[in-house]
Amino acid sequence: MQNDRKLNVAVLGSGAWGSALACVLHKNGHKVTLWSAFEDEANALAATRKSPLLNGAPLPADMNITADKQAAADAELAILAVPSFAVEQTAAAFDATLPENCVICNVAKGLCTDSGLPFSELIRARLTGRDVVTLSGPSLADEVARNIPTAVVAASKSADAARLVQDAFSGDVLRVYVSDDEIGVQLGGAVKNVIALCAGISDGLGMGDNTKAALITRGMTEITRLGIAMGAQAETFSGLSCLGDLTVTCMSPISRNHRAGILIGKGVSAEEAMKQVGTVEGYHAARTVRMLAKKHGVEMPITEECCKVCFEGSSPKDAIIRLMSRPKKQESPLSR
């Protein structure tokens, strides 16, 4: 069911995810502007009406596609759909353009590299006075662009802002749930990329489904452990933003984290894998997550091994051996 209220929406970022979400919003009847940081890219998209990052998926003929920031001046809802490294810069660039009552919805999955802060806090600092929502969950852009049913979660300190995002996106493509656990939803979306990179490395090494299942399950334990230490709600991590997103990112052949991991497992250096695949959020998040784990006194052995492989020259095979030879543990309390 689509909501009757139609919004002026600015989608800031014309990559695969931004373009897919712009199409969903347009299909739901909203007036959508798709903004690119690059004038040549905006002109090409406007001329061809096809997204090369989505296998040529069509872009609506009446959707405004531009590199002009002023096109977002009347936006009631702005979608921050840029890679994690560009979130702060893009938010700051639009502070003077977006209306004061505009709701900001961030869809990038990551953490501030230096501080480990969730993006919601960074965006509030750069887009002062606006309500901020995080949209996350198991949502491969290619599938959303092909109108494949997908479920995600909108998290915010503001219930009204979360519901506005829920209403804007809900339709026959996206089912949107709401949450007030901003920290948990953002941690799930960020740290699952690290585990997905490791799942890809496992596949590149030729390991089996048993190994991947272990990485997914124990990876979720690591994410939950860190989340609780940072004040998140434990139940969030069995939901869409962690378990759901973790599963699809670890298993899908079109996940960039997974694809980069496969290359590393096959012996390609981490730096070269990044060049071949492009933006790999798990690679950028790994050291930040390790920093947070140390800060909060949380044990995250899979994340630690990921950092050793990606940044310290450790062999992926040696990482598997170290994980398998760790001291024996108890998964849950034993009955007496």
What gap in Å lies between CA 280 and CA 258, rounded to an integer?
A: 9
- In angstroms, the Cα distances linking 154 to 19, 132, 223, 281 are 19, 10, 19, 20
CA distance 250 to 252: 6
DSSP tally for the chain: helices H, then strands E = 14, 10
Give the separation between CA 165 and CA 161, rounded to whole angstroms. 6
> Which residue reads 């998209």 in tokens?
45
Is 295 catalytic? The answer is no
Tokens of 98: 């977006």
Annotated catalytic residue: which of 109, 157, 192, 308?
A: 192
Report the 10 Å Cβ neighbour count for 49: 14
For residues 208-233, one letter each, b for 16 or more C-beta atoms within 10 angstroms of the residue's C-beta and e for the rest, the string is eeebbebbbebbbebbbbbbbebebe
Beta bridge partners of 35: 12, 66
Q: Are strands 150-155 and 132-136 parallel, antiparallel or unpaired?
A: antiparallel
Element (H, E) at 106: strand 103-106
Active site amino acids: 192
